[in-house]
Amino acid sequence: MHLVTAKIQLSPNVTRLDLEASRIAEIRQPGQFVIVRLGNGAERIPLTIADADPARGTIALVIQAVGKSTRELVALEVGDSILDIVGPLGHPTEMIASGRAVCVGGGVGTAVVHPIAHGLAERGVEVISIIGGRSREWVIFEEELQRLGQVIVCTDDGSYGRKGFVTDATREVLEAGGVDVVYAVGPVPMMRAVANLTRPFGVHTIVSLNPVMVDGTGMCGGCRVDIGGQTKFACVDGPEFDGHLVDFDLLAERLGTYREFEQQASTACEAGSCRVGLTRPAPSLPVQP
């Protein structure tokens, strides 16, 4: 069991949970993820490790409450537990050793960009983070990224930072020159737009893909993606790939495969069938004389 040690609401539907997972905290690297299962029979949910504290033995997971299972996860409170966490999974982020990197985070994808930016800054790479949200309350990880370098905040409605998409600011930074690599994580249309933007500049672009995952071991094929005409499994070959080679149409299509079932489960959850509180530790039994 993995105890929830801290819970922070980052934006209206995004929650950070810090969980005890000491062995994962010790060895995880930027870009890697875990698969969590709240309780027996629960759905397996892949989540990027947004941060880790090896001294405390905790990892931070950032969860967007979009469906039944994610709502059950964010309903956990400090002191509750998750049944199992498998990881770290996937390849660590391919990092440059020096130069200038632009880290583009769209919405909740900013939580995935944070460990990448952290790893780059630790290596002495100059990091420019460009992060965006629909409006001010949807911008996350701004303070953490400011400790690592320059941060440009964008909001769709202009309520905070610059008005516009993260791609608008990315274009300007690319035009100024001197960018060695771009890392982009967020909604599929955003990652596609960033990849299209960097292509004419010839700037290597790495994106983190989030297809449907089941086992996370390369066995089920659920996370199949097409990279430069080759089939890859995001769980074992990724989750990060060359953005210029990704078939984003296929990714978007496959992400929509279970939308109807997800909607049904979500509706049932709203009607009260969520398993919230299932993993609260049982009260200790009185000791028998």
Q: What is the smallest separation between the CB atom of 77 and ligand NAD, expressed in angstroms?
A: 23
Beta bridge partners of 240: 208
The number of beta carbons lying within 10 Å of the beta carbon of residue 267 is 11
Helices 166-176/188-198 angle, 10° precision: 20
The reply to whether 109 sits near ligand NAD by the rule CB under 6 A is: yes
Distance of alpha carbon 205 from alpha carbon 191, whole angstroms? 10
Contact of residue 277 among ligand FES, ligand NAD, none (CB under 5-8 Å per partner type)? none
Q: In the complex, which residues of this chain contact ligand FES (CB under 6 A)?
A: 213-216, 218-223, 233, 235
- Please identify, using beta-carbon distances, which residue of 23 and 259 lies nearer to ligand NAD: 259
Q: How far is residue 159's CA from residue 104's CA, in Å, rounded to a whole number?
A: 19
Parallel/antiparallel/unpaired status of strands 14-20 and 2-11: antiparallel
Residue range at the interface with ligand NAD (CB under 6 A); choices 79-87, 113-121, 204-212, 265-273:
204-212
Q: Is 208 in the site for ligand NAD (CB under 6 A)?
A: yes
| Interface pick for ligand NAD out of 15, 32, 205, 210 (rule CB under 6 A) | 210
The pair of three-digit structure tokens given for residue 272, joined into one six-digit string? 């009260």
| Nearest by Cα to 217 from 89, 100, 112 | 89
The yes or no reply on residue 67 touching ligand NAD (CB under 6 A) is no
221: partner contacted, choices ligand FES, ligand NAD, none (Cβ within 5-8 A by kind): ligand FES
Nearest to 82 by CA among 28, 7, 26, 29: 7
Q: How far apart are CA 201 and CA 43, in angstroms?
A: 41
* Nearest CB to ligand FES, comparing residues 9 and 231: 231
Q: Which among 22-30, 83-91, 164-172, 218-226 is the span making contact with ligand NAD, rule CB under 6 A?
A: 164-172
Can residue 21 be called a binding residue for ligand NAD (CB under 6 A)?
no
Structure tokens at 91: 């390849």
Question: Which residues form the interface with ligand NAD (CB under 6 A)?
Answer: 106-109, 112, 132-134, 138, 154, 156, 165-167, 185-187, 189-190, 193, 208-210
